[in-house]
Amino acid sequence: MSNRFLKRTGRAGVALAVGCAFAAVPVAAQAAPARVDLRTADPFSVLAYSTVTNASKPTIMSGGLGLHPLASVTGEPVVLGETHLADAVALQAKNDLDTAYVDAAGRAFTPLASAELSGRRLTSGVYRSPTMLLSAGELELDAQGDPNAVFIFQVGSDFTMMAGTAVSLLNGAQACNVYWQVGNIGTLGTNSSFVGTLMAYAKVDALTDARIQGRLMSQTEAVNLQRNVITTTACAAGTTGGSPVGGGDGTGGTGGTAPGTTPAAGTPAAQNPPGSRSATPTRNGTARLLRPPARSSRRPPTSGGTPCTEGFQATVRGKLIKRVVFSLDGKRIGTRTKPKFRVYVRADGGLHGIKARVTFKDATRAKTMRFRYRACAAQVLQPRRGPSQFTG
Residue 285 pLDDT grade (very low, low, confident, very high; cuts 50, 70, 90): confident
pLDDT tens column, 194-217: 999 999 999 999 999 999 999 999
Counting every residue, how long is the chain? 392
- All structural domains of the chain, each given as residue ranges with its CATH number in brackets, are 17-23+37-231 (no CATH), 286-389 (2.60.40)
For residues 232 and 220, give the distance between their C-alpha atoms in angstroms, rounded to a whole number.
22
Determine the pLDDT at residue 187.
98
Between residues 28 and 96, the one the model is more confident about: 96
The CA distance from 167 to 179, in Å, is 12
Residue 198, exposed/middle/buried by CB under 10 A (0-12, 13-18, 19+)? buried
Here the contacts of 185-188 (C-beta below 8 Å, separation 24 or greater) are: 185/157, 185/158, 185/159, 186/158, 186/159, 186/160, 186/216, 187/158, 187/159, 187/160, 187/161, 188/161, 188/212
Q: Which pLDDT belongs to residue 363?
A: 78
Query: 32-85 pLDDT, tens per residue?
Result: 899 999 999 999 999 999 999 999 888 999 999 999 999 999 999 999 999 999
Lowest mean pLDDT among 84-93, 96-105, 260-269: 260-269
Please check the confidence at residue 13 and state whether its pLDDT lies above 50: no
**Which amino acid type is present at position 247?**
G
**Global confidence as pTM:** 0.58
Residues 293, 296: Cα–Cα separation, whole Å: 8
Give the whole-angstrom CA distance, residue 334 versus residue 328: 9
Question: Rounded to an integer, what distance in angstroms lies between the CA atom of residue 189 and that of residue 193?
Answer: 9
Q: What is the pLDDT of residue 377?
A: 66
Q: Is the pLDDT of residue 16 over 80?
A: no
pLDDT tens, residue by residue, 128-178: 999 999 999 999 999 999 999 999 999 999 999 999 999 999 999 999 999
Mean pLDDT of 283-290: 85
